[in-house]
């Protein structure tokens, strides 16, 4: 039963990662299309005889920008929907991984033999513990990595929009690009739970928290043995 539940949790986590990668692909498609529009504008600027053709094509470029802006809004809304659906699952996944990693490292490496000692030999020879810790660590790294690169792809669109803005002199296109820029500014494309954002900063915080709790547990271990030693001497 326990293995079945673990398998279901893993499937849900992989489903979330797949959804994040799909959203990344959507953001990249928008960015690539914006870059193509920018190249068209730069090319037409460098060929004066084609200015008439350029002005005839402006409505088509404007319509394409409106379509891209609508697509970006839909994808941004999808990100928020994804955050709501998987919020509790991600929180539970990170919480369980944090507890398992912290206590497995503590119970399998920290020992007391007339003093504090870190015994890695037992840990190295225990393949089950290594596999178990590796599973949790890789799962956390995969989720955070997918969210980080997808968020960076979404941020990149803002830079591309400003590059396109600097490449055109048409007032209507500039106005549409300004609207696009404002939409990006007000869009929250951060992958998160209700309690924290899932990104590289969270990974750093998690590693620091695991280290802190390990030190606290080691301090409790040292204190308990110090108290036992004092009681033995008094007896």
CATH number, domain containing residue 80: 1.20.1050
Residue 37 lies in a domain: yes
Let me know: does 31 contact 156? Beta carbons within 8 Å: yes
DSSP assignments along 82-115, one per residue:
HHHHHHHHHHHHHHHHHHHHHHHHHHHHEEESSS
Across the strands, what pairs with 110?
118
pLDDT score, position 32: 94
Number of domains the chain is built from: 1
Residue 154 lies in a domain: yes
pLDDT score, position 166: 87
Range of the domain at 61: 2-228
pLDDT score, position 37: 86
pLDDT score, position 48: 46
Q: Which two tokens stand for residue 5?
A: 């539940």
Please report, in tens digits, the pLDDT of each residue of the chain (235 residues total).
666 777 888 899 999 999 999 999 999 999 999 998 888 777 655 554 554 444 556 778 888 899 999 999 999 999 999 999 999 999 999 999 999 888 888 877 766 555 555 555 555 556 677 788 888 999 999 999 999 999 999 999 999 999 888 888 778 888 999 999 999 999 889 999 888 999 999 999 999 999 998 888 888 777 765 655 555 555 5
pLDDT score, position 51: 46
Residue 233 lies in a domain: no
Residue 18 lies in a domain: yes
Let me know: does 164 contact 30? Beta carbons within 8 Å: no
Which of 221, 212, 218 has its CA nearest to residue 98? Answer: 212
Phi then psi dihedrals of residue 192, to 5 deg: -155, 170
Residue 140 lies in a domain: yes
Residue 235 lies in a domain: no
Alpha-carbon dihedral of residues 32, 156, 67, 79, nearest 10 degrees? 120
Residue 234 lies in a domain: no
Q: Which two tokens stand for residue 117?
A: 């000692």
Residue 128 lies in a domain: yes
Q: Which two tokens stand for residue 29?
A: 């498609």
């Amino acid at each position: 039963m326990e293995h079945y539940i673990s398998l279901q949790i893993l499937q849900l986590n992989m489903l979330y990662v797949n959804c994040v990668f799909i959203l990344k692909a959507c953001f990249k498609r928008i960015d690539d299309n914006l870059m193509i529009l920018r190249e068209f504008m730069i090319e037409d600027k460098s060929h004066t005889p084609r200015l008439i053709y350029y002005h005839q094509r402006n409505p088509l470029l404007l319509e394409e920008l409106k379509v891209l802006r609508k697509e970006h809004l839909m994808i941004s809304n999808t990100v928020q929907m994804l955050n709501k659906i998987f919020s509790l699952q991600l929180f539970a996944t990170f919480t369980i991984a944090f507890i398992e990693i912290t206590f497995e490292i503590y119970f399998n490496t920290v020992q007391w033999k007339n003093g504090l000692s870190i015994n890695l030999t037992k840990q190295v020879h225990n393949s089950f513990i290594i596999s178990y810790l590796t599973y949790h660590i890789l799962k956390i790294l995969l989720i955070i990595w997918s969210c980080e690169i997808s968020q960076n792809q979404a941020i990149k669109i803002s830079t591309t929009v400003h590059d396109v803005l600097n490449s055109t002199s048409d007032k209507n296109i500039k106005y549409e690009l300004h609207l696009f820029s404002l939409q990006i500014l007000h869009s929250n494309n951060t992958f998160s739970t209700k309690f924290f954002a899932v990104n590289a900063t969270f990974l750093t915080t998690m590693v620091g928290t695991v280290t802190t709790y390990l030190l606290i547990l080691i301090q409790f271990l040292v204190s308990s043995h110090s108290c036992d030693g004092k009681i033995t001497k008094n007896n």
